[in-house]
Amino acid sequence: MSKLYKLLFWMTILAMVVANIYLFGRSIKVSDEIMSLEKKTRDLHINNVGLAKEVSFFSSLVYAEKAASDLQFVKKSTPTFLNKLGVAYKDQR
């Protein structure tokens, strides 16, 4: 019986060593994936900050004024004159 116990003991130890090696490899792979996701998160955060600045610029009045002048939506104001000022004073005569 002692040979059977020794054999079971060494088989258990061997199984634990193999399982430990496998789990160590998997933990390294998961660690690499976590590092990759953290880098992507940082890159997305930087991109998000840039996009937020662009959105604030595009919603500003400065951009609206520039876009309107580029698209020629703004007509330069010309003064309007009344030929007869008497029209404005019609009720007072």
pLDDT tens per residue across span 30-74:
999 999 999 999 999 999 999 999 888 878 888 778 888 888 776
Domain that holds residue 55: 33-71
Cα 23 to Cα 5, 19, 20, 36, 44, distances in angstroms: 26, 6, 5, 20, 31
The CB density around residue 63, as the number of other CB atoms within 10 Å, is 13
**43 domain residue, yes or no:** yes
- Nearest alpha carbon to residue 39 among 31, 29, 28: 31
**8 domain residue, yes or no:** no
Please state whether the predicted TM-score (pTM) of the whole model is above 0.85.
no
Q: How far apart are CA 10 and CA 16, in angstroms?
A: 10
**78 domain residue, yes or no:** no
**3 domain residue, yes or no:** no
**Could you give the number of structural domains in the chain?**
1
